[in-house]
Structures are given as C-alpha cells and as structure tokens.
Amino acid sequence: MTCSALLEEVVRRVPEHTQRVEVAQNDLKGVPPGLVWTRAQIVEHLVLSHDKYLGPMEAAIRAAAPANATDEARTTWLARRIMKAADPDGNVPAPRAVWPSAAPDPDQTLAAWREQQESLVRLAGSAKGKALGRPVVKNPIVGLFRMTLADCFLVILAHTERHVRQVESH
C-alpha cells in the first residue's frame, strides 16, 4: 500500500468508525454479550489508547521527510504483531495503563471520542506528502520499540475496528 492510499483509507474509515459508535450512543451503559466492559468503557479505552499515539505522531509528521505519492507505507515486524493482536480476531488483554474508569460518563466519553477521531483525520491530512515508512515513533505502550507513522495509523485502525465491533454487538 502506498503512503497516499493509506492516508485515503484513514480519511475514509475514521468517519465510518465514528458513525458506527454514534449508532450505539443510546446504549453506552450496556455491556455487550460476553464482555466485561460497558460500551462507554470500550470507547473510553479507545480514547485512552489512541491518545498515547497522537502526540508522538503529530511531532513525527512535522519532522517527516517529503515522500512521493508512490512511496510504500512500510510496516515494522512489531506493528504487524500489534495489528494482529488488536484486530477484530485478536484477544490480547489491554495494558492496565489504558483501562477505562469504572463508570465513565457516556456523553463526555462520546464527545472525547468524536474529538479524537477528528484529530486523527486532521493528522492524516497533515501527513500527505510525507514519508510514513521510517521508524520514527516510540511505541507508546512498549517504549523499547520504534514504529513507522504507517504502523501507527494501521494499529489505530485495526484496534478501532475491533472495539467498534464490540460496541455494535447486541
């Protein structure tokens, strides 16, 4: 996938994810079947998790070298493992640092989610024409590893898809 195609995918999927969560907004206090967290807790977990990525990504985008539209959005071995664990079929427990509060306010959580999703689209816009395939971002959960900007965008998309499906489940 090229850097341009990846960013187009982010711009396409992020509003879709947002809309799918919005559909469940009347039942954010409910617990999806087979899960422990409420839908509001799942959304708060997404906000907490992705917040750790967005600041470092913004700084990396500002410093990123220019790229051609045909440059590949290379991923690292670590990111491919994280994406597999975070995708809809993954089942890795969340690190304690990104556990949600016991009873998040659904309205505040949804507002934070919307704002964060808008920030992600803005980041994708600011990354156009930038090299996304060089390891420049420390993994915000396991700081020993470096990730590419492509890794960060793809991990966020996979993780979001997993949890949006949980929010949607009845």
pLDDT at 95: 83
- This prediction has a pTM of 0.92
Cβ atoms 20, 157 nearer than 8 A:
no
| pLDDT band at 21; cut points 50, 70, 90 | very high
- Boundaries of domain holding 112: 3-168
DSSP letter for 145, please: S
Tens digits of residue pLDDT in 79-128: 888 888 877 777 788 888 899 999 999 999 999 999 999 999 999 999 99
- How much is the pLDDT for 81? 86
Q: Which residue has the tokens 């089942």?
A: 91
CATH number of the domain enclosing 106: 1.20.120.450
Alpha-carbon separation of residue 39 from 23, 83, 93 (angstroms): 12, 22, 16
For the chain, the average pLDDT equals: 91
- Averaged over 118-141, what is the pLDDT? 90
Q: How confident is the model at residue 24, as a pLDDT?
A: 86
Q: What is the pLDDT of residues 52-61, one digit of tens each?
A: 999 999 999 9
How many domains, in total, are found in the chain?
1
